[in-house]
Amino acid sequence: MKPKARYSARYGYAPALLLPPKLETIGPLPFAEHEFAELDAWLAEDGWPAERMDVATLEGYLVALLVWPIELSSGAWLPPLWGVGGWKVAAKIETPEAYGRFIELVIGYLQELERRLTCVPLHGTPVLGCDWPAVSVPYFAGSAWATGFMTALFRNSAGLHSRSVASRTAVETIASYASLRSAAPRMMAAVGNALSAAVAVLITERASRGPLGPLNLSDVTKLKNRSRLAAGTVGDGR
């Protein structure tokens, strides 16, 4: 994530070249309500490319990278966040300081989502759980979240056919909410619960943690126990 200076024979040292981060070298980063609000407010500002993601779309996108692992480098999956194709950093964050802070917030968010998704019992994500208010989302947050999820999934949609019926049904459930852009905010609690349930199905079949690397054995065990507990609860009629 450290920028490299480029040498120009004519002008001496040119502005730093901003490189994709190496996630394997990044340790745990803080991400709580303060960091969420900072990222959300930043995404709500003017000056971004028209296709930049809002915080709900971003969360859905990051969750998909975690529960439906896709073989993409950080240089491939990061640019859609700020609305460009190929490895090019948006002018909004083209200084080393701005770029570094933005990457810290995004990776911190990714790490926080991983922690929540592997909790026993399942801990809702910030957007789906309506934990913290968001200002960057221009329409129904459930629709934006589902759109972000499907944006990531389209990069590896061929893998859908090799998944279980339960996983394919979960993906279809998520996709069905992407079109509800004009839904009333009061629907968010029910939609959030439905999307969270779909994610809980998908995460049990993932083969890795996507951008965060191989699965932790402890997390695999926790998720299996969580699935058994959910199945027992259903079987008992509770």
pLDDT (tens digit, 9 = 90+) per residue, 89-107? 999 999 999 999 999 999 9
Residue 38, domain member (yes or no): yes
- The Cα diameter of the chain in Å comes to 76
In this structure, the strands spanning 12-17 and 4-8 are: antiparallel
Q: Is the dihedral of CA 38, 44, 50, 54 positive or negative?
A: positive
Predicted confidence band at 208 (pLDDT cuts at 50, 70, 90)? confident
pLDDT (tens digit, 9 = 90+) per residue, 145-182? 999 999 998 876 656 667 789 999 999 999 999 999 99
Structure-block tokens of residue 112: 């926080």
* Euclidean distance between CA atoms 171 and 149, whole angstroms: 9
Rg, Å, the chain Cα set: 19
Q: What is the structure's pLDDT at 5?
A: 42
Structure-block tokens of residue 201: 């199905």
- Degrees (nearest 5) of the Cα angle 45, 49, 52? 75
Task: For the beta carbon of residue 121, count every other beta carbon within 10 angstroms.
Answer: 8
Task: For the beta carbon of residue 16, count every other beta carbon within 10 angstroms.
Answer: 15
Residue 5, domain member (yes or no): no
The total of structural domains in the chain comes to: 1
> Considering the chain, what is the average pLDDT of its residues?
85
* Euclidean distance between CA atoms 216 and 218, whole angstroms: 5
Residue 163: give the domain boundaries. Answer: 18-233
Residue 186, domain member (yes or no): yes
Residue 157, domain member (yes or no): yes
Q: What is the structure's pLDDT at 169?
A: 94
User: What is the DSSP track for 62-73?
Assistant: HHHHHHS-----
Residue 141: pLDDT above 90?
A: yes
Residue 209, domain member (yes or no): yes
Average pLDDT, integer, range 131-154: 95
pTM over cut 0.75: yes
Q: Give phi and psi for 64, each to the nearest 5.
A: -60, -40
CA 136 vs CA 38, 106, 109: distances in Å: 11, 15, 16
* Euclidean distance between CA atoms 133 and 162, whole angstroms: 37
Q: What is the structure's pLDDT at 7?
A: 38
Residue 110: pLDDT above 90?
A: yes
Structure-block tokens of residue 13: 């040292």
Structure-block tokens of residue 69: 């692992």
Average pLDDT, integer, range 54-75: 91
Residue 197, domain member (yes or no): yes
Q: What is the CATH number of the domain that holds 210?
A: 1.20.120.740
- The answer to whether 148 and 58 have CB atoms below 8 angstroms apart is yes
Burial of 218 (0-12, 13-18, 19+ CB in 10 A): exposed
Residue 12: pLDDT above 90?
A: no
Residue 60, domain member (yes or no): yes
Residue 3, domain member (yes or no): no
* Euclidean distance between CA atoms 130 and 4, whole angstroms: 39
